[in-house]
């Protein structure tokens, strides 16, 4: 990417956000800001997380956007409050933002992914399927690109996102 942009990947745990974020970051040279990594680092340091992971993520993303780097933000991003905060980061940095909701419309496949994935962050406890379903994840009321990972490979998802940026 030749100009800074904030790409905010959102969606329920296990839908494929981090897999897509990594591939998209590799493809575009963007900085990958993963809220799970930030939150687990805070927990490992003995900090009660609350909203601190998001607040740190916003600051890291804004710093990199101001340096002229594209940023891929990777978080559940479940509420209007967090969605607005990410857009505010882009506005303060003077760059555009693309909201992308990652979904897996095949419930059986989504459950399989949740139940069989392995933690890749030291100390990170992955949510159970019941916890994924019980999480307070609000419906979107703003425009966004929806990428359905059911039956689509990672490269196809990345191509969809890049096409939306053009």
pLDDT tens digits, one per residue of 11-46: 999 999 999 999 999 999 999 999 999 999 998 888
C-alpha torsion angle, residues 76, 82, 84, 90 (rounded to 10): -70
Q: Report d(CA 100, CA 161) in Å as an integer.
A: 8
For residue 48, what is the DSSP state? Answer: -
Number of domains forming the structure of the chain: 1
Question: What pLDDT does residue 95 have?
Answer: 97
Question: What pLDDT does residue 88 have?
Answer: 97
The per-residue DSSP string of 95-115 comes to: -EEEEEEEE---HHHHHHHHH
What pLDDT, in 10s, does the model give residues 103-154?
A: 999 999 999 999 999 888 887 878 889 998 999 999 999 999 999 999 899 9
Q: Which domain holds residue 21?
A: 5-165
Question: What pLDDT does residue 49 have?
Answer: 74
What CATH number is associated with residue 68?
Answer: 3.40.50.300
Entry pTM: 0.92
């Amino acid at each position: 990417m030749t100009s800074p942009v904030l790409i905010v990947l959102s969606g329920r745990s296990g839908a494929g956000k981090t897999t897509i974020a990594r591939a998209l970051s590799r493809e575009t040279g963007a900085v990958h800001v993963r809220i799970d990594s930030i939150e687990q680092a805070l927990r490992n340091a003995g900090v009660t997380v609350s909203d601190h992971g998001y607040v740190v993520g916003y600051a890291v993303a804004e710093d990199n956007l101001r340096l002229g780097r594209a940023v891929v933000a990777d978080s559940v991003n479940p509420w209007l409050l967090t969605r607005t905060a990410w857009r505010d980061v882009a506005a303060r940095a003077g760059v555009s933002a693309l909201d992308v909701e990652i979904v897996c419309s095949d419930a059986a496949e989504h459950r399989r992914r949740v139940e069989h994935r392995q933690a890749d962050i030291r100390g990170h406890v992955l949510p159970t399927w019941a916890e994924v379903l019980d999480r307070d994840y609000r419906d979107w009321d703003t425009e966004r690109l929806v990428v359905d990972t059911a039956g689509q490979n990672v490269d196809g998802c990345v191509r969809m996102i890049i096409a939306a940026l053009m």
